[in-house]
């Protein structure tokens, strides 16, 4: 089971960054008022179209971002073109790799994305001054590591149909984190194309399509316009996800 964020709604955040308004796991809640003012001066909001590359492999990273809305896919590729999605970032995740000059992964907007971007140098400096900021980053990084390991089980040991069920379940749990985690049903727009889902699950487009069709004909999900998914019984879906 994909780790459900446990600290998204930790209510101990006193202040917000002026420009990004990100609470939750964003970095801003960890800063004191002076730092926030300084950060707000250099940060800026961006709207990103789907498909736009945010960080290229082996590119220098000179900024960090908070994801305010939308979904960012993190990918790694092999030299012959094979690709694997190694993570999805939802709001309010932090995007960037501290302590490294260049990125080992690509980041690309999977949907329309809005970001709050800060210069790397500013955050790096604040990280030295503010243990609370580093503490936040450690927490997010540990959560991402848990997610990555959970996904390794899916990639290495699950069948195609279990993979697709696991994917839908993970999206249902992340796309609207304000939703009741004990809810029995869910409805959402898929943030990824079939090709992206295939790259996430280590499958082909055709196999993803066939498994989605099977879930649909078996009455586990309903799909409209190839994007909008309704799951009446999350429990039923979970039983197909291989536990």
Partner DNA sequence: CTCAGCGCTTGACCGAAATCAAGGTTTCGG
Partner DNA sequence: CCGAAACCTTGATTTCGGTCAAGCGCTGAG
* 83 is a site residue for DNA (CB under 7 A): no
* 207 is a site residue for DNA (CB under 7 A): yes
Count the Cβ atoms, other than its own, within 10 Å of residue 149: 10
Calculated CA dihedral for residues 199, 90, 235, 145, nearest 10 degrees: 70
Exactly one of 74, 164, 172, 229 binds a copy of itself (CB under 8 A); that residue is: 74
* 226 is a site residue for DNA (CB under 7 A): yes
Interface segment toward DNA; rule CB under 7 A; list 17-25, 86-94, 159-167, 180-188: 159-167
Exactly one of 148, 183, 216, 226 binds a copy of itself (CB under 8 A); that residue is: 148
* 84 is a site residue for DNA (CB under 7 A): no
Residue the block writes with tokens 């019984």: 233
* 177 is a site residue for a copy of itself (CB under 8 A): no
Question: What would the two tokens of residue 64 be?
Answer: 């960090």
Nearest one of 56, 151, 52, 67 to 110, comparing CA atoms: 52
Q: Which helix (H) or strand (E) holds 231?
A: strand 228-231
Partner in contact with 86, chosen from a copy of itself, DNA, none, beta carbon below 5 to 8 Å by kind:
a copy of itself
Exactly one of 147, 177, 205, 238 binds DNA (CB under 7 A); that residue is: 205
Residue the block writes with tokens 């450690």: 138
Q: Which residues contact 6 (CB under 8 A, 6 or more apart)?
A: none
Residue 51 or 181: the one with the smaller Cβ distance to DNA is 51
Residue 1 or 121: the one with the smaller Cβ distance to a copy of itself is 1
Q: Cβ 217 to DNA, closest distance in Å? A: 8
CA distance 55 to 62: 10
Partner in contact with 208, chosen from a copy of itself, DNA, none, beta carbon below 5 to 8 Å by kind:
DNA
Interface segment toward DNA; rule CB under 7 A; list 3-11, 147-155, 167-175, 196-204: 196-204
Interface segment toward DNA; rule CB under 7 A; list 9-17, 32-40, 57-65, 219-227: 219-227
Give the ranges where the chain is alpha helix by DSSP (H). 33-42, 120-129, 131-157, 160-174, 194-201, 205-217, 234-239
Exactly one of 32, 57, 59, 134 binds a copy of itself (CB under 8 A); that residue is: 134
* 233 is a site residue for DNA (CB under 7 A): no
* 3 state DSSP class of 239: helix
Q: How far apart are the first and last CA of the chain?
A: 6
CA distance 57 to 60: 9
Contacts with DNA, residue ranges (CB under 7 A): 159-161, 193-195, 202-210, 212-213, 223, 225-227
């Amino acid at each position: 089971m994909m780790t459900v964020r446990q600290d998204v709604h930790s209510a101990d955040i006193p202040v917000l960054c002026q420009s990004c308004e990100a609470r939750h796991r964003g970095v801003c809640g960890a800063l004191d008022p002076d730092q926030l003012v300084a950060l707000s001066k250099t940060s800026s909001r961006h709207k990103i179209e789907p498909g736009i590359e945010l960080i290229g492999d082996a590119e220098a990273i000179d900024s960090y971002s908070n994801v305010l809305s939308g979904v960012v896919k993190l990918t790694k590729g092999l030299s012959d073109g094979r690709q694997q999605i190694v993570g999805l970032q939802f709001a309010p995740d932090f995007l960037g790799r501290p302590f490294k000059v260049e990125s080992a992964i690509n980041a690309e907007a999977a949907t329309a994305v809005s970001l709050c971007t800060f210069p790397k140098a500013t955050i790096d400096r604040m990280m030295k001054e503010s243990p609370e900021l580093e503490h936040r980053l450690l927490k997010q990084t540990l959560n991402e590591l848990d997610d990555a390991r959970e996904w390794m089980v899916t990639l290495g040991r699950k069948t195609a149909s279990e993979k697709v069920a696991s994917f839908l379940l993970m999206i249902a749990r992340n796309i609207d984190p304000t939703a009741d985690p004990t809810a029995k049903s869910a409805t959402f727009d898929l943030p990824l194309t079939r090709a992206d889902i295939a790259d996430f699950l280590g499958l082909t487009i055709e196999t993803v399509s066939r498994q989605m069709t099977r879930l649909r004909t078996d009455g586990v999900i309903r799909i409209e316009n190839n994007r909008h998914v309704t799951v009446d019984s999350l429990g039923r879906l979970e039983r197909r996800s291989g536990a």
